[in-house]
Amino acid sequence: MRQLEIAYAEYVELRETAMGYCVRCGDFTRESVEPDATGYECPTCEHDTVVGAEIGLIRGDFEISEEF
Ligand SMILES: [Zn+2]
């Protein structure tokens, strides 16, 4: 699967707005997910595979792009 790459500013915003990243969908699919949360249900694929932005970054699910 293609690795999602986001700009640092975008990552900060996703963190601040508590967007959750779905490991299965490979995208940010859900709101109201704390940055250090795991196991939230994804509204798209309906699996408990949504993690917070911080966890996603630590896990290497997506990369911060240095390009702006
Ligand atoms: Zn999903």
Q: What is the pLDDT of residues 46-62, one digit of tens each?
A: 999 999 999 999 999 99
Task: Extract the tokens encoding 50.
Answer: 């949504």
Ligand 1 centroid, distance to 21 Cα (angstroms): 8
Residue 1 has pLDDT above 80, yes or no: no
Q: Where are the alpha helices (DSSP H) in the chain?
A: 8-16, 53-59
Ligand 1 centroid, distance to 67 Cα (angstroms): 27
Ligand 1 centroid, distance to 2 Cα (angstroms): 15
Environment of ion ligand 1 (residues, CB < 5 A): 22, 24-25, 42, 44-45
Count of all residues that appear for the chain in the document: 68
pTM, full prediction: 0.89
Which pLDDT score, from 0 to 100, does residue 23 have?
96
Ligand 1 centroid, distance to 41 Cα (angstroms): 8
Average pLDDT over residues 6-27: 96
